[in-house]
Structure formats: C-alpha cells, structure tokens
Chains A and B, each alone.
Chain A
C-alpha cells in the first residue's frame, strides 16, 4: 500500500470541557476509501470536521498529518490553503450546502479563485470541465442555475464538483447520499467510487452500513466518541468482533424476513418470535378505488400527483407503499385520511363510504383511522405535556381513566415518568412511541404510517419497527406503511405496492415483488438498493 496520505493519531476533541471524541486513530492512503460508521452522537462528523479545523472545539492529538502538512501547527493562512486545495468536503444536502441564492457555477468558481491562478475566462471553462467530470448533463447551462432549480441528484453532483474543483488529494464525504432516493444514490456512490479509483483518498462518514459496503475498503465503527472496531469491509461486516457492531448489523432491516424482530433484545435469545406473518386474508378494513388528484401550478399544466390508484388494507396485515420522493405516496395517504379531497375515486372505511361525505359525519368515524408521521415533534402542540397529548386523544368516555393512560404507555414501552415531560425534551425514538400511543388511544382499526422511521438511527429504528409488529399482532391493526427505503418496506410488509409518478406500477406479495420484480422500474429500484448480504443470521 502506498504511504498513507492522512494519519490521525490519538485525536481528541472537546467542547467547553466535554470530550466528544477520545483517542481516535486511523489512516487513509491515496486511492483508498475509509468509512467511519456510527449513530448520531457517535462523534463521526466532529472527527471529520477536525481534519479541516472547523470543529470550533479544542482539538488535541499525538499526530495529525495530511501529506506533508502538520495540521496541529497549521495557522489560519495555512489552513485556508489546505481547505479546498488539499481536502474537499461534501455535505449531506446540496439544497442547503450550496448557497441557495447563487448559481452553482459561482460556488465552483470560488474554489478555483481561491486555489488556482487561472484567469476568470479560464476559470469559466474549468468549471464546465469539472461539472462534466462529475457527470452533469448540459453543464454549461446548468452552471447558471441555482441549487433549488436542479434535481436532487444533479445538485449533489454540483456540490461534489465544488469540493473537487481544485483536485484535492483527500475528499471527506459526510452522509453524501442520505438525502437522495435509491436510484440517484447509487449513481452518486458510483461517482465517489470512480474518484477513489482515480487515486483520490476518500473518507466516507455514514450511518448506513449497506451504503458503506458498496464503496468502502476499510471501516471504522465509532460509538460515544470512541472507535469500538476497525478493519476491512469483509472482517467488520461478515465477522464483527464487537457486540455493538453485531447489534448494528442485526438492526438493518433489509433482508430480514417479515416478523423477525430486529432489536438487540431479541438477540438475547428471547423466544418472542412472532408467528410467521398471517397470510393477508383478513377482512378488508379500508378500500380505496380509482383515486386521482392534481394540484394547480403557476404558468404550467396542473401537476397530476395521483392517477387512478386503488389499494385495500386488510385487518392484521401491512401494505407497504414504496416509491421515490415526489411519486405521490403522501398524497395517497392524505386522501385516505380524508385530509385531501380526491378529484375522483372513493374511499370506504369498514364498508361505509368515508371520502366524499360532509366532514361532520366523517368526524365521528375518524376514530377508526390513526396516523403517525416522519417528524413526530411537529405533530405535537408545543405547549402540551405527554399526558395532555394522550388524554386529549382518548375517547371522551375513557378520558379520565388513569389506568388507560398507563396501559397505553406500557403498550409502546414508555415509563410513566414521561407523562409530565414535554415532547421537545424527549429523544427521537421516545417521541415516535408517544405518537404511536396517541394514534392507538381511540382504538383505531387502521394505522397510516408515513415514513415513520426515516429520521431515526438504525438501532432506534429497529425497536420502533419491532413495536409496530407487536402492536399489529396484539390488536390486529391494518397498516399502510409508506417509505422510500426498500429494505424497511420489505421487512415490514405482507404486500407491497410500488408507486412511480402518481401510479402504482406493480403490486404483489412482498417476497415475489422482491425476488422476481415484474415491472422494469421495480427491477431498477431493487437493483439500486444497496444490500448488506449478511451470511445467515447468527
């Protein structure tokens, strides 16, 4: 292996006395990709930023060398030549990581202005060259557009272009594809892999093991600011030594059969192995036929968000609705919940018409329909405590039964000490559990889940998904489970419907849709979703 480009020896970072990163050491050589994996709060981003001197905290280390630069003794002027010149940083979401008010070309031009002596005209050509090198179609005109006017994938490519314009030796990519849909994600990962192949060192920060497996050569696993395990991709993913790594790998839903619990507690050999998924033969609880909806747009034809969609939910079973952002999944959900009136098509709940009836009549039957969202915090009144939130959701006749409250908390695994606190001061996982408890309060028959776990860490995500499975088993709830993450949908659903541009392109049993996708788009979706390919579950 050639001499390492970046060597980090016993690095520690502290903010006003609190140590966030402790004794981290690793190396990255040119043409090699090292991935740092960990959940939020593990210190992986802080470690990356300390390599650019942008943590804002107190950095100390035995050694911090980048090529011939000693980063510990670098002064502001030296740092400015390193940043962009020697090291390029790619952040998560180009929409906010590129200045929304300036054309993307200008941001790339800045890097060149700072690190090359090219004339403005030469710089303009170089910008177009760099954009083309990252696979930007029709680069000349795209350079004049702002980040907001480009699609997710294109603006991420522009962000990468701005990082590599001065051809730095090391690229740090902090969650580069988290904000992207599966198909676009795989294209961007291929681009990063290409850069690594061209001899640039790549430091990939991610919480997604499947993504890491696709690109990285070696992996470092961080937890609470320390490295718990390091090694090649094969060693760490296929034969994890540390208990935490094993739990992490197990929590990844993709590939885990339906009904198999994910959370670590299950590993302790608990036998609560739910029965194999009941065949989707329960009675139909919610039936939507021929739903369509279009939204007016300025200066353009109205946007056809949902076009002739028919779905049905059966008691005790889950229909997974998967598709990329903008495919109309959420609009369907809102039509089922009676929040959006469909242009045509009908929704029946428990056999009775639910969609086009006056809101006053519909209100009495809303109890049967619950909903949980991606960001639970925004669905809680900021001034209410958990107790007030749950009590308001209870049936009036049960409202003052304290027993009912504790019963709800137990069912979602929350201690009664939570009642007096406000959601703002709870963790992401706890908030989602409160949301589920609230949805269950009126004893619904159907629960619409719109991206319920996308914002959660893998380990927390695993616990919430297991909870949803348990509740379905106990109460025979019908779930509509919406997500852009194929792995999660496959694990949770009995049947799956794949949506694209407002229509359902394929529907069928979860396993058949995955093993032998019929529709070309489904095939492409399944192919582009990184899989962990663990050997049999230990």
Chain B
C-alpha cells in the first residue's frame, strides 16, 4: 500500500528540506538511531534482552511496567520487553522480505512494460490496473486462505499487495528516463539500444526504487501486523509484534502495556523507515534536479 510517487513538482525548484551533503536534520538523526537500534535488536537480541522470550511464569502474569520488567509482563508472565526486542528480527525480516518481493515483482512488471514492445506494455499496464483495483487486503486474504496462515505466507501476501504500487512507479520512471535528453544524446552518438539500456536507462530507473524500498518497509511491517491481528499472520508463540498486539488486545483495560509497547515499536520502526526514505528521496532528487 505504498503511495505512488507524485508527478515531479510543478516548478522543478529544488526541495528546501535537505540540501545534498547538508548536515543531518533532527528528524534524520532520530530515525537513524531507531533503525540502528532495530538492526541491533534484530541481529543480536541477546545483547539488549538476555532473557528468553518464550519463558513463561504464569504466577507473574499481568505485571505493570517496573524496573525488572520495563514493559511489564504478558498474560503468561513472559517479559514483554524481551519479546519486543526478539520480535524486532521477525518483523524486520517480514518488512524487508515483503518489500523485496513487492519490488522484485514490480521490477519485472515495470521493466517488461516499459522496455518491451507496445503489446507487452499494454499487457503489463492492464495487469497492474487490475491488481491496483483490488483492495490490497483482499489479495492478501485470498492468498493466505489458499496457502494457510504463517510467516512466509504473510510475507508473500504483503509483498503481492504492494507490487502494483511499485510497478506503476518503476514503469513511469523508465518512460521518463527514455524520453530524457541524455538518452537522446546517446542515440546521436551512435550507441545501440542495449548499451543505452545498460548504461543509462536501468541505472537511472532503478536508483529511486531503493529509496521507495525504505518507504515500503515501514508500510509492509504495518500491514503484516494487521494480518497477524486478524489472526492470519504469525503462528504463536513466536514473538512478532503484530501477534503480540493481537494477543494483548483483549486485556487492554487491565493490561494496557501489552498493546501500547508492541504498537509503539511498530510505529517507531515504520516512521523511521519512512522518514529516512523521504530524506533519501529529497537528497537524490537534489542530485538530479
């Protein structure tokens, strides 16, 4: 469900927020910090939370946040903080994998459409239009119903539903590059279509996609957690933020921390990824405008 990039700004004047090479804005520093923290939690959870996320102690259930349990304990007495930290790896994996699937599929659809002949272009646009018209969640629901719930299916489902958005952006990007001055100059210099494709079209078309990816990861994590909430996502007792939210929701009036902290983790990760994506986007647009 990524937002397709809008048409170039009407007046082409450079974006004010971040000049290339300018020092980082406050927002960028915060989001970088969050992402680094997330990466650490994903790669070496033991470092930040030595406890075992699955260890239960029913007698200590529903304890409010305290020094011993910074995020409190859940309905089975497990430490919420440890589970959030260990859940980071799972959620980040889903976010990255889903975005990779989305972009991979989109690259195929987009490039085929833009580089192939008119018929191919017509076909891929139609496919894209159809996928676009389907509500993303329906695509995910049907896919999960066919293959059954679980981590891999959730990841693929989210990837599938984000692909049309990316494909549309990549295709328009490739068409814009093909019409650019430097491609025409290359033609005048006598370069063949393949050299032009390799040297100019693909590098320039694909570059912004990675920026889009950072935007996409945030949304992918949000959508994966929604699927877990609907009971279609990750299989318990794995510590995944969406599943933790879904499990914590019935106890909201008596144990608010079960819902608040995993939710904050999702929002912090998704927001930081989007913020970084946005500033990368404005910096690269800086380079090319």
| A residues near B200, Cβ cutoff 8 Å | 381
Choose from A366, A378, A383 the contact partner of B181 (Cβ within 8 Å).
A378
CB of A370 to closest CB in B, whole Å: 7
Given known pairs A382-B288, A383-B207, A424-B287, the reply for A363 and B192 (CB within 8 Å) is yes
Say yes or no: is B204 at the interface (Cβ < 8 Å to chain A).
Answer: yes
CB of B229 to closest CB in A, whole Å: 42
Say yes or no: is B189 at the interface (Cβ < 8 Å to chain A).
Answer: yes
CB of B289 to closest CB in A, whole Å: 9
CB of A364 to closest CB in B, whole Å: 7
Q: Mark B163-184, 1 if CB is under 8 A from A, else 0.
A: 0000000000000000011101
Which residue of A is nearest B286, CB measured? A424
Name B's A-contacting residues (CB within 8 A).
11, 180-182, 184-192, 199-200, 203-204, 207, 287-288
Interface residues on A, range: 20 to 34
CB of B194 to closest CB in A, whole Å: 12
Say yes or no: is A515 at the interface (Cβ < 8 Å to chain B).
Answer: no
| A residues near B11, Cβ cutoff 8 Å | 96
Q: Mark A429-452, 1 if CB is under 8 A from B, else 0.
A: 000000000100110000000000
Choose from A96, A379, A438, A442 the contact partner of B190 (Cβ within 8 Å).
A442
Given known pairs A96-B11, A392-B199, the reply for A379 and B182 (CB within 8 Å) is yes
Given contacts A339-B184, A383-B203, 4 further A-B contacts (CB under 8 A): A339-B187, A370-B188, A375-B181, A378-B182
**Main secondary structure on B side of the interface with A:** helix
Which residue of A is nearest B182, CB measured? A381
Complex formed: what's the CA distance from A441 to B188 in Å?
A: 12
| A residues near B184, Cβ cutoff 8 Å | 339, 379
Which residue of B is nearest A368, CB measured? B190
Asked if A383 contacts B204 (CB within 8 A), the reply is: yes
A-B contact pairs, 13 of them (CB 8 A): A96-B11, A339-B188, A366-B189, A371-B188, A373-B181, A381-B199, A381-B204, A382-B287, A383-B204, A383-B287, A393-B189, A441-B189, A442-B190
Asked if B190 contacts A363 (CB within 8 A), the reply is: yes
Say yes or no: is A367 at the interface (Cβ < 8 Å to chain B).
Answer: yes
| B residues near A383, Cβ cutoff 8 Å | 203-204, 207, 287
| B residues near A424, Cβ cutoff 8 Å | 287
Say yes or no: is A380 at the interface (Cβ < 8 Å to chain B).
Answer: yes
Which residue of A is nearest B284, CB measured? A382
Which residue of B is nearest A96, CB measured? B11
Asked if B188 contacts A337 (CB within 8 A), the reply is: yes
| B residues near A337, Cβ cutoff 8 Å | 188
Asked if A379 contacts B187 (CB within 8 A), the reply is: no
CB of B71 to closest CB in A, whole Å: 45
Q: Mark A352-381, 1 if CB is under 8 A from B, else 0.
A: 000000000001101101110101001111
| B residues near A339, Cβ cutoff 8 Å | 184, 187-188
Asked if A369 contacts B188 (CB within 8 A), the reply is: yes
Which residue of A is nearest B207, CB measured? A383
Choose from B180, B190, B204, B207 the contact partner of A366 (Cβ within 8 Å).
B190
Which residue of A is nearest B190, CB measured? A366
Asked if B190 contacts A367 (CB within 8 A), the reply is: yes
Asked if A379 contacts B181 (CB within 8 A), the reply is: yes
Q: Mark A156-200, 1 if CB is under 8 A from B, else 0.
A: 000000000000000000000000000000000000000000000
Complex formed: what's the CA distance from A378 to B188 in Å?
A: 14
Asked if A379 contacts B185 (CB within 8 A), the reply is: yes
| B residues near A96, Cβ cutoff 8 Å | 11
A381, A383, A438: most-surrounded residue (chain B CB, <10 A):
A381
Asked if A378 contacts B180 (CB within 8 A), the reply is: yes
CB of A147 to closest CB in B, whole Å: 14
Complex formed: what's the CA distance from A96 to B9 in Å?
A: 14
| A residues near B182, Cβ cutoff 8 Å | 378-382
CB of A383 to closest CB in B, whole Å: 6
